[in-house]
Amino acid sequence: MEKKKRLLSGLQPSGELTIGNYCGGIRQFLEYQKEYDSFLFVPDMHTITVPQKEAELIRERTRRFATLYLACGLDPENCTFFIQSEVPAHNQLTWVLECTTYMGELNRMTQYKDKSSKYTNIGCGLFTYPVLMAADILLYDTDIVPVGADQKQHVELTRDIAQRFNNRYGETFKMPEPIIAKVGSRIKDLQYPEKKMSKSAEDPNGSIFLLDSESQIKKKINRAVTDSDGKIWFDEEKKPGISNLITIYSALTTTPLEQSIEKFEGMERYGDFKKEIIEVVLETLRPIQKKYEELEKSGFVDEVLDKGKARANAIASEKCQEVFRKVGFGR
């Protein structure tokens, strides 16, 4: 029997998971979990690259993310699910890879430029965290990495680091390939439809979170930015708000975008249009929220994470020791 390729994915526990995360990340992973030897982790160490108010909040969000993944349909029998900080090899490999990475490469990372512009005192962790991402990927001999379009640059850097290390020390790391989500990664903010819907947006009214109440969802969609045109048609430049709502419908119902456009184009009542979007969102989130409540009351989440931690540590520590031997560490 042919060995399955290995897939790795993770979502940083900053803010709250949105329908954009669900369509562009979580659901995509669920589709792949049986096809690949799948690894899913919560990268909690990434959260402290920017200032955090409370340590306990990181722990709460990490657990909430883990519970939501399972509520969305993650099957622990078909994947290795763990928390990043519970596998020390992530830190250990990062240092070796930092010594293999050039400053100029990190200077070119667009996410660093974007995030650093929002803070006055920047820690060096924000500058070097793409190397931690590379360690996350390379530790597990990953073949496939599902990412949003804005994260593709990080996988390309990972490949460059891996190739440089292999050239210096001999064949050690696999060369991972990115998979870009087609629809979910294009879901935009309801209030600022030129921006991606974010789990940590300053204005929460622009994001639909997986744990939003029915009244919150209705309020957010009814207040979503549209225009004064009065007609529904798809044009991301001229009608970004309306186009975004059609994209949300398409993503959640898995209806091809062209068919979704055809369904709504020509409608003249924005209220009726938004009612249909609201219903689709509610239908998607009701079973997830029900399962989430059930999981919160059980010990199942800890059982899954403990099992995942054990397997992840076994694989990652072996890879890390191989790297240490090649660079000359230890006795």
State residue 24's pLDDT score: 82
Is residue 297 part of the annotated active site? The answer reads no
Q: Are residues 153 and 212 in the same domain?
A: no
pLDDT digits (tens, 9 = 90+) for 246-259: 999 999 999 999 99
> Residue 15's domain is classified under what CATH number?
3.40.50.620
Question: Could you tell me if 110 and 96 lie in one domain?
Answer: yes
Q: Give the residue with greater pLDDT, 323 vs 11.
A: 323
Domain boundaries, position 222? 187-293
| 49-69 pLDDT tens trace | 887 778 888 999 999 999 999
Q: How confident is the model at residue 185 (pLDDT cuts 50, 70, 90)?
A: low
- For residues 159-181, average pLDDT: 95
- 115 counts as catalytic: yes
Residue 130: what pLDDT?
95
Contacts of 6 (CB under 8 A, 6+ apart): 36, 37, 38, 39, 140, 141, 142, 143, 144
Residue 1 lies in a domain: no
DSSP string, 86-154: G-THHHHHHHHHHTTS-HHHHHT-HHHHHHHTT-SS--HHHHHHHHHHHHHHHTTT-SEEEE-GGGHHH
Average pLDDT, rounded, for the chain: 92
Residue 86 CA to residue 310 CA, distance in Å, equals: 9
159 & 103 share domain = yes
pLDDT at residue 182 in the model: 61
User: Do 209 and 123 share a structural domain?
Assistant: no
Residue 59 lies in a domain: yes
Say if residue 272 is in the same domain as residue 317. no
pLDDT of the residue at 31: 86
Q: Where are the beta strands (DSSP E) in the chain?
A: 6-10, 37-42, 79-83, 144-147, 177-180
Closest to 9 (Cα-Cα) out of 31, 34, 26:
26
pLDDT above 80 (res 272)? yes
Residue 223's CATH number: 1.10.240.10
Which residue among the candidates 4, 34, 113, 115 is catalytic per the annotation?
115
Greatest mean pLDDT among 42-51, 224-233, 269-278: 269-278
pLDDT at residue 183 in the model: 54
Task: Say which of 34, 195, 196, 319 is annotated catalytic.
Answer: 196
Residue 35 lies in a domain: yes
pLDDT-derived band of residue 136, with 50, 70 and 90 as boundaries? Answer: very high
169 and 198 assigned to the same domain: no
Instruction: Find the distance separating the first CA and the last CA of the chain, reported in whole Å.
Output: 39
- Residues β-bridged to residue 79: 38
Same domain, 16 and 145: yes
Convert the pLDDT of each residue in 202-244 to its tens digit.
789 999 999 999 999 999 999 999 988 888 989 999 999 999 9
User: How many structural domains are present in the chain?
Assistant: 2
* Residue of 34, 118, 182, 199 marked catalytic: 199
Residue 34 banded pLDDT, cuts 50, 70, 90 = confident
